[in-house]
Structure 1
């Protein structure tokens, strides 16, 4: 019988991957599925905190390195890839742990959301318009067509605004109307375990993580990607967007790194709000060590 997956969720730098790896360690029947919109891109390793080769050799991972960073990648494509990966795991009689912080991708797979279609020509036109007049103007238009969707996204998030307008104009329906709606939380067989830190401690962990990424060669990784070219989606990734601006001569390295830290902190707040609205998440308040404190809860879920 196919067993439902476990999900480890929470904000960036909370220790999700470490907990999931520890839960799978020593068990030959557990595999990990990444639920991260940027880990699907090849070569975007340091800035996405992608599992290392040693970690992947120790525990089997799925949905990493699916496409080149020059390619666009959508939630619909992620759903398709997830279904194939989950079927592959289930066929071997194994159990899946979902790990990642991309909220929309997470909901799309655990709730099998009704994802709207795509209109590439319309998307290109809207993207060109955003480049010309700025995303704020498009956000104003979205607020008229779909105020619920507009409220859920920042007025500077070009990619999400363009996608929402593409769906509104292409389908004739509000972007927020698809599926049960992100405000609905139907019963689910997926047991979700969330890692939650004191806000000040998480802020310090984020700063430390960014410094570690820079020490590991994030700037060089961004330079290689810039030379090869990035899709609009990949170019918005945290860490890369700011360093691309530095490499283009638009800002100093120190300013770029400071902006990475700031944007990552804001992103973590949005992640906490996103997952915090889901009443199905069982939260573990972490004080010092996410593995020591959350691992028993994950193991309990695996053995249930």
Structure 2
């Protein structure tokens, strides 16, 4: 049995999930975050603390080193193993996180296209992401229309599949515009954008106070993979460490980009008609937890 909490970053998803797990014996938390899979990327991804993980079982954290690549298909496999393990114990999985593609991949069991490393290496050698997006627009206009021109990771992946498979990226599977029936009940946390924007800034400031720069320095010295290096907060601090920006400039950029990311997350999840949205007035925990508990009750009846 699975229930998912979705919504933008800094909206209170993790706090709600923890409280649900405290109230419902047997509920274990499954992270749906593309960057929390990396060991050592703790502060900048707002990963659950050691105390929280000791109190409530957490899954899909710290799966690989930050120097390793990790794909959506890898995540699907890891998610399936985690859910099977939870079920074998008689427990229930509560999915929580804001990586939209990873979320859809596991709740809808998306049929993902293959990997073409040689093609990807050639694409990675081109630093002009917008030029790559223009190329994608020629090969697969539909896929290009579904992603931001500056989202290098998605643009390169779509081009890799187009060139490697000889088929448009958008032709693989039913696509993200299809919302089939799902056994996973989804509860969405919706807060006013100014509230989320303020929460984002508080979170970023707190990350700096608790050692984000040192964390990034350590990871950068060991080497960040292509996918890990795209994490919000990390690439901006790397710019500071390598002298391309002052710390204040990097912090300002992190806040601005994270706010824009939160808006994109909200839009992504808002398109899914299967999500039951809860409009939070002040406290996500007190206002959303009862709905998540009810969702678990409905899945068992």
Which TM-score band applies after superposition, normalised by the shorter structure?
over 0.9
Q: 1:24 aligns with which of 16, 21, 24?
A: 21
Structure 1 gaps, min length 5: none
Q: 1:14-55: CA deviations, max 9, x gaps?
A: 000100010001433110100000000000000000000100
Q: TM-score, normalised by structure 1?
A: 0.97
Q: Distance in 2 between matches of 1:177 and 1:270?
A: 23
Structure 2 gaps, min length 5: none
Per the alignment, residue 282 of structure 1 pairs with 276
Quote the RMSD (CA, aligned, Å). Answer: 0.8
Q: TM-score, normalised by structure 2?
A: 0.98
2:234 is the counterpart of 1:240: yes
Aligned pairs, number: 298
Q: Distance in 1 between matches of 2:22 and 2:10?
A: 20
Per the alignment, residue 299 of structure 1 pairs with 293
Per the alignment, residue 126 of structure 1 pairs with 123
Q: Distance in 1 between matches of 2:168 and 2:240?
A: 37
Per the alignment, residue 44 of structure 2 pairs with 47
Helix, strand or coil: the match of 1:226? helix
Q: 1:81-111: CA deviations, max 9, x gaps?
A: 1111111111111100000000000000000
Q: 1:132-158: CA deviations, max 9, x gaps?
A: xx1111100000111121112221222
Q: Distance in 2 between matches of 1:53 and 1:149?
A: 40
Q: Distance in 1 between matches of 2:153 and 2:192?
A: 30
After the TM superposition, which segments of 4 or more aligned residues of structure 1 sit over 4 Å from their partners?
none
Per the alignment, residue 150 of structure 2 pairs with 156
Q: Distance in 1 between matches of 2:235 and 2:43?
A: 14
Q: Distance in 1 between matches of 2:46 and 2:141?
A: 34
Larger mean CA deviation between 192-201 and 25-34 belongs to 25-34
Q: 1:111 aligns with which of 108, 112, 122?
A: 108
2:264 is the counterpart of 1:270: yes
Per the alignment, residue 260 of structure 1 pairs with 254
